[in-house]
């Protein structure tokens, strides 16, 4: 089992590569499709996701793809199962396993993620379908009263229990504690909350005997609330690295940042600045959803005739983030073919 986990981690943590998240829930993908005037039917979701995952040479810059449960069992137009398609590309198939969030009792304004019941059994099925890693997201809202101590401790416990169950099943867990960008909080407040959250998460992981070498961390970057002026990439890099150096053990092989509502260029520039900040104990890379897919969705518009432009948009975004992995990205590259 340990060899299996190690093999998956090594496949995911490759220089110049990151993870593509196409695991949007039904309400989220419906919202994204509505923005391009496309109805969110099962066939439209299958068509779009199989199209982007068929992008030639995507595996040059993408090491893993997080799938939604529906997509794991779907096929391309020629009948190839999506996990098999990814494997052919040299990409590791993964699966989102949480069941969404709901209000946390006795903690107004805080939320908790559900889905632990039956998780081990579901993972067995997902493995049979080709999934080799999993992802679970818990969220933390910043306000004058949130996140509460109860929310920080409870969410950490849930993340740790999920990670332990995954490793017991031979599945590499991606642990995602997302400090939300919503609000008017300062960058300093975001840093303060991120530090407390990550400390608690790793305390919980330790309690549950999670092997840190066989997991990945998917945290937020330290940024001001989206109602305030954006921070520069250098500021984001400085504050984010300061916090992760205080909280993340060096045994964790990779930190795959989420984009969390950032624009595609912004997410790439911020990652690039972190990789220009000097040598760090971990790989600093990406696990982006909308920041990788947004331009591809706009190119697609629900029209199969737009296949080439859709795939070109995704490939370019993946390539630019691949450059950011080395700190080699520049804004001028956005206008290059």
Question: Mean pLDDT, the chain, as a whole number?
Answer: 97
Give pLDDT tens digits for 282-298: 999 999 999 999 999 99
Give pLDDT tens digits for 147-172: 999 999 999 999 999 999 999 999 99
**Model pLDDT, residue 1:** 79
Give pLDDT tens digits for 62-94: 999 999 999 999 999 999 999 999 999 999 999
Mean pLDDT for 110-115 is 98
Q: Does CATH place domain 97-330 in 3.20.20.70? A: yes
Domain spans, the chain: 97-330
Assess contact for 164 and 204: CB atoms under 8 A. no
CA distance 292 to 267: 9
pLDDT at position 183 over 90: yes
**Model pLDDT, residue 2:** 85
pTM for the predicted model, two decimal places? 0.97
**Three-class DSSP category at 133:** strand
- Please give the positions annotated as active site: 176, 218
CA distance 312 to 223: 30
Angle at 217 between CA 55 and CA 334, to 5 degrees: 40
**Model pLDDT, residue 251:** 98
pLDDT at position 302 over 80: yes
CA distance 194 to 178: 9
**Model pLDDT, residue 106:** 97
């Amino acid at each position: 089992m340990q060899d299996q986990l190690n093999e998956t981690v090594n496949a995911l943590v490759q220089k110049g590569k990151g993870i593509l998240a196409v695991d949007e829930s039904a309400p989220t993908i419906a919202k994204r499709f509505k923005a391009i005037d496309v109805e969110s039917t099962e066939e439209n979701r299958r068509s779009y996701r199989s199209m982007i995952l068929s992008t030639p040479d995507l595996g040059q810059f993408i090491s893993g793809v997080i799938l939604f449960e529906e997509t794991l069992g779907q096929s391309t137009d020629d009948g190839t199962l999506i996990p098999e398609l990814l494997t052919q590309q040299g990409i590791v198939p993964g699966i989102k396993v949480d069941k969404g969030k709901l209000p946390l009792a006795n903690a107004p304004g805080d939320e908790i993620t559900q889905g632990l019941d039956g998780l081990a059994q579901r993972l067995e099925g997902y493995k049979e379908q080709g999934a080799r890693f999993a992802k679970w997201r818990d969220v933390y809202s910043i306000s004058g009263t949130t996140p509460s101590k109860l929310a920080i401790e409870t969410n950490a416990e849930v993340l740790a229990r999920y990670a332990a169950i995954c490793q017991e099943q031979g599945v590499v867990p991606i642990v995602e504690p997302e400090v939300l960008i919503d609000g008017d909080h300062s960058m300093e407040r975001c840093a303060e909350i991120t530090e407390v959250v990550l400390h608690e998460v790793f305390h919980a992981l330790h309690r549950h005997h999670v092997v840190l070498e066989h997991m990945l961390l998917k945290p937020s970057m330290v940024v001001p609330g989206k109602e305030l002026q954006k921070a520069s990439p250098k500021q984001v890099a400085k504050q984010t690295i300061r916090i992760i150096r205080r909280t993340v053990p060096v045994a964790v092989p990779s930190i795959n940042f989420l984009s969390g509502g950032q624009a595609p260029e912004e997410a790439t520039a911020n990652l690039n600045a972190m990789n220009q900040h000097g040598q760090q104990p971990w790989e600093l890379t990406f696990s982006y959803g909308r920041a990788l897919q947004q331009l591809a969705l706009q190119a697609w518009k629900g029209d199969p005739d737009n296949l080439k432009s859709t795939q070109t948009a995704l490939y370019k975004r993946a390539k630019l983030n691949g450059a950011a992995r080395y700190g080699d990205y520049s804004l001028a590259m956005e206008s290059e073919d």
